[in-house]
Amino acid sequence: MDEAARHALIDKAERTHRLAEAELAALLADDGATDELAAAADRVRRAFVGDEVHLRGLIEFSSYCRQNCLYCGLRRDNKNAQRYRLSPEEIVALAEKAKAAGYPTVVMQSGEDAWFTAERLAAIVRDVKRLGLTVTLSVGERMTDEYRVLREAGADRFLLRIETTDRALYERLDPGMSHEDRIRCLADLKRLGYEVGTGCLVGLPGQTAEMLARDVLFFRSIDADMVGIGPLVPNGETPLGDERPGDMRLVRRMVAAIRLLLPEANIPATTAMETLSPGARELMLRSGANVMMPNVTEGEARQKYALYPGKACVADTPEHCRACMEGRIRAMGRTVGKGPGGRMRKNRK
Ligand code: SAM
Ligand code: SF4
């Protein structure tokens, strides 16, 4: 794309927060647009969600999974995965520690582990809510009634990435899962009043800029409260082990495009980004992102939750993570968010 056309499109996105699919795809395909897109997204981030960076304490409580996603180290056919399951008491104890370390929000994440029935999970959610924490769940697909039970137990937010909006690609990479089910889950979560986080992977085999543009427009169409982007980190224990890692410049354009089109959304700088490129979290926080999710899982479990190899910070303690994040945020001239850091709605320009 020539410079004038690129500039006109980015300017339009910054002013109107709208782009057509073809316009978005052209920008996402244009490596030369990366810095200008990121700078515009950084301005929009500051205007709409401010300088605070919200920290969520991530508790990875079970590595058992009944699904078989081709990219993920927790997939059920990975016989070399080390499986563990924290007890409800251990999960609540980690949440207590997260609170003591100053996290207002915990994200409870796991594989799709049937041991954690909705009732068992709901009891844990109630205990964690008694601590005064905001609770986000990321436990995959469930029946509508289960989402309801969990919401009634006090769960505030739910993360479920669409992974890709391209039906054929999704169903190829997530065998046995259906695109309709995924959409049904996201619609249920919205209807039940959760703050809903979704997102996609970047670097999937066969994925195009047009597909990614449709992903961004999908996030906008469901009014996603949070959008997380994961560059594919190939895992040698999975069928996608020989793929190329996601292109970090494309990831940066995605983060920026999401900020421009969904100016109020929470957008995390994710661990997968840092794993592929040290320092990427800061770069993403300057390209539209405003959230980080440090791991507060302790001990062996922290190493065994191996979605992909070389996961950043896996040997650190939760206390070290918290202090390290705060230092990094301050060094950027930003501040650590004080409250639960929910989706902003009033800050329209
Ligand atoms: N099982 C739940 C689910 O799938 O929604 C939650 C846990 S799952 C491990 C969380 C996210 O990890 C997935 O949405 C997927 O995008 C990401 N993930 C899995 N394998 C990955 C890989 N190799 N590289 C980057 N991200 C990956
Ligand atoms: Fe299981 Fe989630 Fe990994 Fe898929 S991405 S295998 S559902 S943990």
Residue 126 predicted with pLDDT over 90 = yes
pLDDT at 348: 42
- For tokens 């249920």, what's the residue? 188
pLDDT at 280: 94
Q: What residues contact 48, with CB distance under 8 A and at least 6 apart?
A: 263, 264, 344, 347, 348, 349
- For tokens 């329209």, what's the residue? 348
**C-alpha 193 chain-centroid distance:** 19
Residue 63 CA: nearest ligand 2 atom is 8
Q: What is the pLDDT of residues 286-335, one digit of tens each?
A: 999 999 998 888 878 888 888 888 877 777 777 778 888 888 899 999 99
**What's the predicted TM-score (pTM) here?**
0.96
Residue 347 predicted with pLDDT over 50 = no
CA-nearest residue for atom 8, ligand 2, is 111
Exposed / middle / buried, residue 2 (Cβ in 10 Å: 0-12, 13-18, 19+):
exposed
Q: Could you tell me the distance, in angstroms and rounded to a whole number, from the CA of residue 60 to the centre of ligand 2?
A: 12
Q: How many CA atoms lie within 13 A of 116 on its CB side?
A: 32
Residue 160 CA: nearest ligand 1 atom is 5
In this prediction, what percent of the chain has a pLDDT beyond 70?
A: 99
> What is each CA distance from 277 to 39, 49, 247, in whole angstroms?
20, 26, 10
pLDDT at 349: 37
- Ligand 1 neighbours, Cβ below 6 Å, are 71-72, 74, 109, 111-112, 138, 140, 160-161, 163, 201, 230, 232-233, 235, 272, 307-308
Residue 231 Cβ < 6 Å to ligand 2: no
> What is each CA distance from 334 to 53, 88, 261, 291, in whole angstroms?
7, 35, 23, 12
With the most atoms of ligand 1 within 8 angstroms of its CB, the residue from 201, 235, 247 to mutate is: 201
Q: Mean pLDDT score of the chain, rounded to an integer?
A: 94
Domains of the chain and any CATH numbers: 3-336 (3.20.20.70)
Residue 102 predicted with pLDDT over 50 = yes
Query: Given the DSSP bridges, would you call strands 157-159 and 195-202 parallel, antiparallel or unpaired?
Result: parallel
Average pLDDT over residues 79-101: 95
Residue 138 CA: nearest ligand 1 atom is 6
With the most atoms of ligand 2 within 8 angstroms of its CB, the residue from 62, 69, 79 to mutate is: 69
Exposed / middle / buried, residue 220 (Cβ in 10 Å: 0-12, 13-18, 19+):
middle
231: left (phi over 0), alpha (psi -120 to 50) or beta: beta
Q: Could you tell me the distance, in angstroms and rounded to a whole number, from the CA of residue 238 to the centre of ligand 1?
A: 13
